[in-house]
């Protein structure tokens, strides 16, 4: 029949697994939210760039029409130069022609800048489209896996709880009480290995006589400093 110490070590593994399952109830949904956010972020960047691209295309068409209109107007005024009779009319027409030329120059500059931005957006959209597809494909698969894990937590907890009950009933009441008190008080590990003839948790040195008693493994020993239960492993404790 397994000793109380052997059973405690098994019980501690089960308690660790149960703790991980409980923690997974918090971090798995967070992981899923992050994956969904990555998908949405990739889609948003693609949509934003696509909207800007469409706007720039319309702007190009509008500028081209404006420039064509201004050039037609410029041509008309230039033809009028042939029929001018006074210096006053000449100066007024020159001023109008100069204003139109400046407007055309400004619009041509704006057109060039807009076309350059269109070229940049084409590359950006291609990149965003690839990233969006990759995020959608990869993250959707991960979401399905994580959802399966979440759905299975209840069954796994029930299974571990059943194992815990079976092992707990084989441990003496006194030993089990010590274990539960230490586990709740110290949090997490209650049974620790002796390492270099000291407590594996708080590193309090043990007397040679105490070490020999722990080596026997015939009863439960606790650390006088931190209260954790101690065990000896011939391969690891020296």
Kindly state the DSSP code that residue 49 receives in the 8-state scheme: H
pLDDT digit string (tens) for the chain, length 238 residues: 468 989 999 999 999 999 999 999 999 999 999 999 999 999 999 999 999 999 999 999 999 999 999 999 999 999 998 888 899 999 999 999 999 999 999 999 999 999 999 999 999 999 999 999 999 999 999 999 999 999 999 999 999 999 999 999 999 999 999 999 999 988 778 999 999 999 999 999 999 999 999 998 888 899 999 999 999 988 766 6
Q: How far apart are CA 54 and CA 62, in angstroms?
A: 12
Q: How far apart are CA 17 and CA 110, in angstroms?
A: 65
SS3 sequence, 217-238? CCCCEECCCCCCEEECCCCCCC
0.85 exceeded by pTM: no
Closest CA to 228 of 187, 167, 171, 197: 187
Ranges in the chain annotated CATH 1.10.287.1490: 23-168
- What's the pLDDT at 1? 44
Residue 134: in which H helix or E strand, if any?
helix 87-168
The CATH number for 23-168, chosen from 1.10.287.1490, 2.40.10.220, 3.60.21.10, 3.20.20.70, is 1.10.287.1490
């Amino acid at each position: 029949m397994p000793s109380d110490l052997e059973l405690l070590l098994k019980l501690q593994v089960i308690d660790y697994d149960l703790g991980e399952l409980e923690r997974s109830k918090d971090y798995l949904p967070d992981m899923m939210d992050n994956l969904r956010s990555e998908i949405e972020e990739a889609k948003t960047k693609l949509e934003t760039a696509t909207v800007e691209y469409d706007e720039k295309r319309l702007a190009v068409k509008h500028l081209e029409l404006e420039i064509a209109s201004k050039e037609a107007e410029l041509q008309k005024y230039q033809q009028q130069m042939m029929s001018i009779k006074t210096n006053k009319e000449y100066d007024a027409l020159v001023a109008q022609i100069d204003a139109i030329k400046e407007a055309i120059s400004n619009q041509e500059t704006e057109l060039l800048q807009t076309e350059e931005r269109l070229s940049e957006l084409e590359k950006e959209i291609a990149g965003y489209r690839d990233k969006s597809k990759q995020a959608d494909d990869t993250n959707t698969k991960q979401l399905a896996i994580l959802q399966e894990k979440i759905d299975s937590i209840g069954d796994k907890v029930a299974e571990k709880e059943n194992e815990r009950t079976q092992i707990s009933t084989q441990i003496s009441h006194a030993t089990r009480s010590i274990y539960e008190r230490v586990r709740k008080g110290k949090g997490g590990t209650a049974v620790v290995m002796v390492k270099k003839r000291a407590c594996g948790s708080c590193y309090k040195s043990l007397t040679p006589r105490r070490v020999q008693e722990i080596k026997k493994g015939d009863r439960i020993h606790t650390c006088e400093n931190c209260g954790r239960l101690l065990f000896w492993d011939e391969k690891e404790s020296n």
